[in-house]
Protein backbone atom coordinates (compact mmCIF):
# COMPACT_ATOMS: atom_id res chain seq x y z
CA UNK A 1 0.00 0.00 0.00
CA UNK A 2 1.22 3.55 -0.79
CA UNK A 3 2.24 5.90 2.02
CA UNK A 4 -0.79 7.79 3.33
CA UNK A 5 -1.11 11.30 1.91
CA UNK A 6 -2.71 12.45 5.14
CA UNK A 7 -1.79 12.35 8.82
CA UNK A 8 -4.03 10.83 11.44
CA UNK A 9 -4.16 11.51 15.18
CA UNK A 10 -6.67 10.78 17.91
CA UNK A 11 -7.25 12.68 21.15
CA UNK A 12 -9.87 10.94 23.25
CA UNK A 13 -12.91 10.51 21.04
CA UNK A 14 -11.76 13.08 18.46
CA UNK A 15 -10.04 11.81 15.32
CA UNK A 16 -8.16 14.36 13.21
CA UNK A 17 -7.10 13.90 9.60
CA UNK A 18 -4.54 16.35 8.21
CA UNK A 19 -4.27 16.39 4.42
CA UNK A 20 -0.55 16.23 3.87
CA UNK A 21 0.57 17.33 0.40
CA UNK A 22 1.59 20.90 1.35
CA UNK A 23 3.80 21.28 -1.74
CA UNK A 24 0.59 21.24 -3.83
CA UNK A 25 -1.70 22.92 -1.27
CA UNK A 26 -3.03 19.45 -0.41
CA UNK A 27 -4.66 19.03 -3.82
CA UNK A 28 -6.53 15.74 -4.21
CA UNK A 29 -4.77 12.90 -6.01
CA UNK A 30 -6.53 9.63 -6.80
CA UNK A 31 -4.47 8.11 -3.98
CA UNK A 32 -5.46 10.76 -1.43
CA UNK A 33 -9.13 10.56 -2.38
CA UNK A 34 -9.17 6.77 -2.04
CA UNK A 35 -7.13 6.73 1.17
CA UNK A 36 -9.27 9.39 2.79
CA UNK A 37 -12.47 7.59 1.94
CA UNK A 38 -11.12 4.35 3.37
CA UNK A 39 -9.97 6.09 6.53
CA UNK A 40 -13.43 7.65 6.97
CA UNK A 41 -15.02 4.21 6.46
CA UNK A 42 -12.81 2.89 9.24
CA UNK A 43 -13.64 5.83 11.50
CA UNK A 44 -17.35 5.25 10.91
CA UNK A 45 -16.94 1.69 12.23
CA UNK A 46 -14.74 2.67 15.18
CA UNK A 47 -16.77 3.05 18.37
CA UNK A 48 -13.97 5.09 19.97
CA UNK A 49 -14.47 7.89 17.40
CA UNK A 50 -17.23 10.37 18.23
CA UNK A 51 -16.13 13.35 16.12
CA UNK A 52 -13.86 13.83 13.10
CA UNK A 53 -11.82 16.94 12.25
CA UNK A 54 -10.34 17.46 8.79
CA UNK A 55 -7.64 20.06 8.22
CA UNK A 56 -4.62 20.66 6.02
CA UNK A 57 -0.85 20.82 6.45
CA UNK A 58 1.02 23.96 5.41
CA UNK A 59 -0.59 27.10 4.01
CA UNK A 60 -3.47 25.46 2.18
CA UNK A 61 -6.51 23.39 3.15
CA UNK A 62 -7.03 21.75 -0.26
CA UNK A 63 -6.68 23.14 -3.79
CA UNK A 64 -9.19 20.69 -5.26
CA UNK A 65 -8.27 18.14 -7.86
CA UNK A 66 -4.50 17.88 -8.45
CA UNK A 67 -4.43 18.96 -12.06
CA UNK A 68 -1.08 17.23 -12.62
CA UNK A 69 -2.25 13.86 -11.30
CA UNK A 70 -2.19 11.12 -13.97
CA UNK A 71 -5.87 10.63 -13.13
CA UNK A 72 -6.81 13.89 -14.85
CA UNK A 73 -3.76 15.23 -16.69
CA UNK A 74 -4.67 15.57 -20.36
CA UNK A 75 -2.68 13.15 -22.52
CA UNK A 76 -0.30 14.45 -25.20
CA UNK A 77 -2.88 13.81 -27.91
CA UNK A 78 -5.65 15.38 -25.85
CA UNK A 79 -7.65 16.45 -28.86
CA UNK A 80 -8.13 12.80 -29.79
CA UNK A 81 -8.51 11.48 -26.25
CA UNK A 82 -10.95 13.61 -24.28
CA UNK A 83 -11.14 12.64 -20.60
CA UNK A 84 -14.36 11.46 -19.08
CA UNK A 85 -14.41 13.49 -15.87
CA UNK A 86 -17.75 11.90 -14.99
CA UNK A 87 -15.95 8.61 -14.34
CA UNK A 88 -13.52 10.36 -11.98
CA UNK A 89 -16.40 11.91 -10.05
CA UNK A 90 -18.25 8.56 -9.95
CA UNK A 91 -15.20 6.66 -8.76
CA UNK A 92 -13.66 9.12 -6.29
CA UNK A 93 -15.58 12.31 -5.49
CA UNK A 94 -19.14 11.05 -5.15
CA UNK A 95 -18.17 8.24 -2.73
CA UNK A 96 -16.09 10.67 -0.65
CA UNK A 97 -18.78 13.37 -0.52
CA UNK A 98 -21.45 10.80 0.39
CA UNK A 99 -19.16 9.27 3.00
CA UNK A 100 -18.73 12.62 4.76
CA UNK A 101 -22.45 13.37 4.58
CA UNK A 102 -23.40 10.00 6.04
CA UNK A 103 -20.83 9.74 8.82
CA UNK A 104 -22.36 8.49 12.08
CA UNK A 105 -20.46 11.24 13.90
CA UNK A 106 -20.16 15.01 13.28
CA UNK A 107 -17.43 16.11 10.88
CA UNK A 108 -15.67 19.48 11.30
CA UNK A 109 -13.62 21.12 8.56
CA UNK A 110 -10.85 23.25 10.05
CA UNK A 111 -9.92 25.30 6.99
CA UNK A 112 -6.39 26.53 7.61
CA UNK A 113 -5.77 28.14 4.21
CA UNK A 114 -7.05 28.28 0.67
CA UNK A 115 -9.88 25.85 -0.17
CA UNK A 116 -10.37 25.76 -3.93
CA UNK A 117 -12.55 23.78 -6.33
CA UNK A 118 -13.47 20.39 -4.93
CA UNK A 119 -11.40 21.30 -1.86
CA UNK A 120 -13.84 24.10 -1.07
CA UNK A 121 -16.93 21.99 -1.59
CA UNK A 122 -15.44 19.06 0.32
CA UNK A 123 -15.09 21.44 3.29
CA UNK A 124 -18.56 22.93 2.82
CA UNK A 125 -20.07 19.44 2.87
CA UNK A 126 -18.83 18.95 6.44
CA UNK A 127 -21.19 19.62 9.35
CA UNK A 128 -19.38 22.64 10.78
CA UNK A 129 -16.76 24.70 8.97
CA UNK A 130 -14.32 26.77 11.00
CA UNK A 131 -11.79 28.76 9.01
CA UNK A 132 -8.67 30.74 9.76
CA UNK A 133 -8.90 34.46 9.03
CA UNK A 134 -6.29 34.15 6.29
CA UNK A 135 -8.16 31.29 4.57
CA UNK A 136 -10.32 31.79 1.53
CA UNK A 137 -12.76 29.81 -0.55
CA UNK A 138 -12.60 29.70 -4.34
CA UNK A 139 -15.05 28.06 -6.72
CA UNK A 140 -12.16 27.59 -9.14
CA UNK A 141 -14.14 25.44 -11.56
CA UNK A 142 -15.24 28.26 -13.88
CA UNK A 143 -11.58 29.16 -14.43
CA UNK A 144 -10.95 25.77 -16.06
CA UNK A 145 -14.28 25.32 -17.83
CA UNK A 146 -16.12 23.16 -15.29
CA UNK A 147 -19.10 23.51 -12.96
CA UNK A 148 -18.92 23.26 -9.16
CA UNK A 149 -18.70 19.57 -8.26
CA UNK A 150 -18.19 17.57 -5.08
CA UNK A 151 -21.69 18.73 -4.09
CA UNK A 152 -21.21 22.40 -5.00
CA UNK A 153 -24.36 22.73 -7.11
CA UNK A 154 -26.43 21.39 -4.20
CA UNK A 155 -24.60 22.98 -1.30
CA UNK A 156 -23.97 26.53 -2.51
CA UNK A 157 -27.55 27.67 -3.26
CA UNK A 158 -28.77 26.05 -0.04
CA UNK A 159 -26.11 27.72 2.06
CA UNK A 160 -26.16 31.23 0.61
CA UNK A 161 -29.08 31.43 -1.86
CA UNK A 162 -29.08 31.34 -5.66
CA UNK A 163 -27.80 34.86 -6.30
CA UNK A 164 -24.72 34.52 -4.12
CA UNK A 165 -24.15 30.92 -5.23
CA UNK A 166 -24.04 32.09 -8.84
CA UNK A 167 -21.76 34.97 -7.89
CA UNK A 168 -19.31 32.52 -6.30
CA UNK A 169 -19.57 29.92 -9.05
CA UNK A 170 -19.46 32.18 -12.11
CA UNK A 171 -16.85 34.68 -10.92
CA UNK A 172 -14.60 32.13 -9.18
CA UNK A 173 -13.11 34.85 -7.02
CA UNK A 174 -11.33 34.41 -3.69
CA UNK A 175 -13.86 34.70 -0.87
CA UNK A 176 -12.09 35.58 2.41
CA UNK A 177 -13.13 33.52 5.42
CA UNK A 178 -14.64 36.53 7.23
CA UNK A 179 -16.94 37.20 4.26
CA UNK A 180 -17.79 33.50 4.04
CA UNK A 181 -18.94 33.67 7.65
CA UNK A 182 -20.86 36.91 7.09
CA UNK A 183 -22.83 35.41 4.20
CA UNK A 184 -23.58 32.19 6.09
CA UNK A 185 -21.38 29.94 3.96
CA UNK A 186 -19.40 28.75 6.98
CA UNK A 187 -19.92 28.60 10.72
CA UNK A 188 -16.99 30.60 12.02
CA UNK A 189 -13.90 32.59 11.06
CA UNK A 190 -11.23 32.76 13.77
CA UNK A 191 -7.73 34.24 14.14
CA UNK A 192 -5.14 32.01 12.45
CA UNK A 193 -3.31 31.09 15.62
CA UNK A 194 -6.50 29.87 17.31
CA UNK A 195 -7.88 27.70 14.50
CA UNK A 196 -6.54 24.34 15.65
CA UNK A 197 -7.49 24.89 19.30
CA UNK A 198 -10.95 26.20 18.34
CA UNK A 199 -11.65 23.21 16.10
CA UNK A 200 -10.40 20.73 18.68
CA UNK A 201 -12.44 22.32 21.48
CA UNK A 202 -15.53 22.24 19.29
CA UNK A 203 -14.86 18.61 18.41
CA UNK A 204 -14.37 17.63 22.05
CA UNK A 205 -17.65 19.32 22.90
CA UNK A 206 -19.56 17.58 20.09
CA UNK A 207 -18.00 14.24 21.03
CA UNK A 208 -19.76 14.49 24.41
CA UNK A 209 -23.17 15.22 22.88
CA UNK A 210 -25.82 12.69 21.79
CA UNK A 211 -24.45 11.44 18.47
CA UNK A 212 -27.55 9.86 17.06
CA UNK A 213 -29.60 13.02 17.56
CA UNK A 214 -26.94 15.16 15.85
CA UNK A 215 -26.62 12.81 12.89
CA UNK A 216 -30.40 12.52 12.52
CA UNK A 217 -30.61 16.32 12.63
CA UNK A 218 -28.16 16.57 9.73
CA UNK A 219 -30.12 13.95 7.77
CA UNK A 220 -33.47 15.58 8.50
CA UNK A 221 -32.14 18.98 7.35
CA UNK A 222 -30.90 17.45 4.10
CA UNK A 223 -34.16 15.58 3.48
CA UNK A 224 -36.48 18.36 4.62
CA UNK A 225 -35.11 20.74 2.01
CA UNK A 226 -36.71 18.46 -0.59
CA UNK A 227 -40.06 18.13 1.23
CA UNK A 228 -43.09 20.34 1.69
CA UNK A 229 -43.89 21.58 5.21
CA UNK A 230 -46.34 18.82 6.06
CA UNK A 231 -43.99 16.05 4.96
CA UNK A 232 -41.17 17.69 6.90
CA UNK A 233 -43.35 17.64 10.01
CA UNK A 234 -44.03 13.95 9.44
CA UNK A 235 -40.33 13.24 8.97
CA UNK A 236 -39.60 15.05 12.24
CA UNK A 237 -42.24 12.99 14.04
CA UNK A 238 -40.90 9.71 12.64
CA UNK A 239 -37.29 10.55 13.50
CA UNK A 240 -38.21 11.93 16.93
CA UNK A 241 -40.08 8.71 17.60
CA UNK A 242 -36.89 6.70 16.94
CA UNK A 243 -34.79 9.05 19.06
CA UNK A 244 -37.34 8.82 21.85
CA UNK A 245 -36.42 5.13 22.24
CA UNK A 246 -32.67 5.82 22.35
CA UNK A 247 -30.58 5.39 25.51
CA UNK A 248 -29.32 8.97 25.07
CA UNK A 249 -32.82 10.43 25.35
CA UNK A 250 -33.41 8.46 28.54
CA UNK A 251 -30.05 9.61 29.87
CA UNK A 252 -30.71 13.25 28.91
CA UNK A 253 -34.07 13.41 30.66
CA UNK A 254 -32.88 11.42 33.69
CA UNK A 255 -29.84 13.64 34.09
CA UNK A 256 -31.94 16.80 33.81
CA UNK A 257 -34.41 15.63 36.43
CA UNK A 258 -31.56 14.48 38.70
CA UNK A 259 -29.83 17.86 38.27
CA UNK A 260 -26.58 16.22 37.08
CA UNK A 261 -24.58 16.36 33.83
CA UNK A 262 -25.63 13.76 31.26
CA UNK A 263 -23.18 11.14 29.99
CA UNK A 264 -24.09 10.20 26.45
CA UNK A 265 -22.68 6.93 25.14
CA UNK A 266 -24.97 5.80 22.31
CA UNK A 267 -23.53 5.76 18.80
O1 LIG B 1 -10.56 16.57 -14.20
C2 LIG B 1 -10.91 17.25 -13.23
O3 LIG B 1 -10.37 18.32 -13.03
C4 LIG B 1 -12.01 16.72 -12.32
C5 LIG B 1 -12.11 17.27 -10.97
C6 LIG B 1 -12.50 18.48 -10.67
C7 LIG B 1 -12.58 18.98 -9.27
C8 LIG B 1 -11.82 20.24 -9.04
O9 LIG B 1 -11.37 20.44 -7.94
S10 LIG B 1 -11.57 21.31 -10.32
C11 LIG B 1 -10.61 22.61 -9.58
C12 LIG B 1 -9.16 22.24 -9.48
N13 LIG B 1 -8.43 23.24 -8.72
C14 LIG B 1 -8.04 24.40 -9.25
O15 LIG B 1 -8.30 24.72 -10.39
C16 LIG B 1 -7.20 25.31 -8.35
C17 LIG B 1 -5.81 25.47 -8.91
N18 LIG B 1 -5.00 26.25 -8.02
C19 LIG B 1 -5.06 27.60 -7.96
O20 LIG B 1 -5.84 28.24 -8.64
C21 LIG B 1 -4.10 28.27 -7.03
O22 LIG B 1 -3.07 27.39 -6.72
C23 LIG B 1 -4.78 28.74 -5.73
C24 LIG B 1 -5.71 29.92 -6.01
C25 LIG B 1 -5.55 27.61 -5.05
C26 LIG B 1 -3.68 29.20 -4.72
O27 LIG B 1 -2.88 30.17 -5.36
P28 LIG B 1 -1.46 30.56 -4.71
O29 LIG B 1 -0.91 31.67 -5.55
O30 LIG B 1 -1.66 30.82 -3.28
O31 LIG B 1 -0.54 29.25 -4.81
P32 LIG B 1 0.15 28.66 -6.12
O33 LIG B 1 1.51 29.21 -6.27
O34 LIG B 1 -0.77 28.74 -7.29
O35 LIG B 1 0.25 27.08 -5.71
C36 LIG B 1 1.29 26.62 -4.87
C37 LIG B 1 1.76 25.30 -5.44
O38 LIG B 1 0.66 24.38 -5.41
C39 LIG B 1 2.17 25.43 -6.91
O40 LIG B 1 3.20 24.48 -7.14
P41 LIG B 1 4.72 25.00 -7.37
O42 LIG B 1 4.69 25.95 -8.52
O43 LIG B 1 5.10 25.68 -6.08
O44 LIG B 1 5.49 23.76 -7.63
C45 LIG B 1 0.92 24.97 -7.64
O46 LIG B 1 1.19 24.45 -8.92
C47 LIG B 1 0.43 23.89 -6.72
N48 LIG B 1 -1.03 23.67 -6.90
C49 LIG B 1 -2.02 24.48 -6.48
N50 LIG B 1 -3.20 23.98 -6.84
C51 LIG B 1 -2.95 22.84 -7.50
C52 LIG B 1 -1.56 22.65 -7.56
N53 LIG B 1 -0.99 21.59 -8.16
C54 LIG B 1 -1.85 20.72 -8.75
N55 LIG B 1 -3.20 20.85 -8.75
C56 LIG B 1 -3.77 21.87 -8.14
N57 LIG B 1 -5.13 21.97 -8.10
Whether 172 and 115 have beta carbons less than 8 Å apart is answered as no
Enclosing domain of residue 57: 6-207
Residues of the chain with pLDDT > 90, as a percent, come to: 91
Tell me, yes or no, whether 177 lies in a domain: yes
Residue 71 Cα: closest atom of ligand 1? 1
Which residue's alpha carbon is nearest to atom 11 within ligand 1? Answer: 117
CATH number at residue 217: 1.10.12
- Which of 173, 192, 207 is a domain's end point? 207
The verdict on residue 133 lying in a domain is: yes
Q: Tell how far the Cα of 63 is from the centroid of ligand 1, in angstroms.
A: 5
Please give the share of the chain, as a percent, with pLDDT higher than 70.
97
Distance from C-alpha of 235 to C-alpha of 232, rounded to nearest angstrom: 5
Residues 99 and 159 in one domain: yes
The answer to whether residue 267 is domain-embedded is: no
State pLDDT tens for residues 191-205: 999 999 999 999 999
Q: Is the CB of 35 under 6 A from ligand 1?
A: no
- Span from the CA of 220 to the centroid of ligand 1 (angstroms): 35
Q: Are residues 52 and 129 in the same domain?
A: yes
Give the pLDDT of residue 80. Answer: 61
Q: What average pLDDT is seen over the chain?
A: 96
Q: Is the pLDDT of residue 1 over 70?
A: no
Ligand 1 test: best mutation among 24, 25, 62, 69, most atoms within 8 Å of CB?
A: 25
Q: Considering the domain boundaries, does residue 1 fall inside one? A: no
CATH code for the domain in which residue 18 is found: 3.90.226.10
Q: 150 and 236: one domain?
A: no
Regarding whether 81 and 12 lie in a shared domain, the answer is: yes
Residues 203 and 219 in one domain: no
CA–centroid distance, residue 195 to ligand 1 (Å):
23
Asked if 124 and 159 touch (Cβ cutoff 8 Å), the reply is: yes
- Class of residue 258 by CB neighbours under 10 A (exposed 0-12, middle 13-18, buried 19+): exposed
Verify that 129 and 237 share a domain, yes or no.
no
Say if residue 95 is in the same domain as residue 191. Answer: yes
> Do 199 and 98 belong to one domain?
yes
> Final residue of a domain: which of 164, 183, 207?
207
ipTM of the complex as predicted: 0.98
Does the C-beta of 53 come closer than 6 Å to ligand 1? no
Ligand 1 geometric centre to CA of 66 (Å): 7
Q: Which of 169, 186, 207 is the last residue in one of the domains? A: 207
Q: Inform me whether the pLDDT recorded for 109 exceeds 90.
A: yes
Q: What is the pTM of this model?
A: 0.96
Region 78-82: what's the mean pLDDT? 63
Does residue 129 line the site of ligand 1, with CB under 6 A?
Answer: no
Measured between alpha carbons, how far is 64 from 21 in angstroms, rounded to an integer?
Answer: 12
Query: Could you tell me if 123 and 130 are in contact, meaning their C-beta atoms sit under 8 angstroms apart?
Result: no
Kindly indicate the confidence band of residue 77, based on its pLDDT and cuts at 50, 70 and 90.
Answer: low
Residue-level pLDDT at 70: 84
**169 CB less than 6 Å from ligand 1?**
no
**Closest ligand 1 atom to Cα of 143:** 15
* pLDDT over threshold 80, residue 227: yes
29 and 45 together in one domain: yes
Determine whether the shortest distance from the Cβ of 159 to ligand 1 is under 6 A. no
- Shared domain check, 130 and 80: yes
Residue 72: per-residue pLDDT: 80
Give bridge partners of residue 65 from the DSSP assignment: 28
Q: Is 85 in the pocket of ligand 1 (CB under 6 A)?
A: yes
Contacts of 134 (CB under 8 A, 6+ apart): 113, 177, 192
Return d(Cα 24, Cα 140) in angstroms, integer.
Answer: 15
Q: What is the pLDDT of residues 128-151, one digit of tens each?
A: 999 999 999 999 999 999 999 999
Q: Are residues 106 and 218 in the same domain?
A: no
**CB distance 249 to ligand 1 below 6 Å:** no
Examine the domain organization and report whether 59 and 99 are in the same domain. Answer: yes
- Number of domains comprising the chain: 2
**Rounded average pLDDT over 55-78:** 88
Residue 223 counted as domain residue: yes
Q: What is the separation, in whole angstroms, between the first and last Cα of the chain?
A: 31
**Taking residues 25-38, what's their average pLDDT?**
97
Q: Judge whether 118 and 65 are in contact, CB under 8 Å.
A: yes
Amino acid sequence: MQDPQFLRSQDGHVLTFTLNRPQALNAFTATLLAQLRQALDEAADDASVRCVVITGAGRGFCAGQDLSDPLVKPPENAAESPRDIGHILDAYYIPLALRVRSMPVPVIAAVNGVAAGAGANFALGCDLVVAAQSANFIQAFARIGLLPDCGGTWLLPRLVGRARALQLALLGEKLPAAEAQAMGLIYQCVPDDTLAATAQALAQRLSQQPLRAMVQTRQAFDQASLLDFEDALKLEAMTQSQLGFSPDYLEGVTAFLSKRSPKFTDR
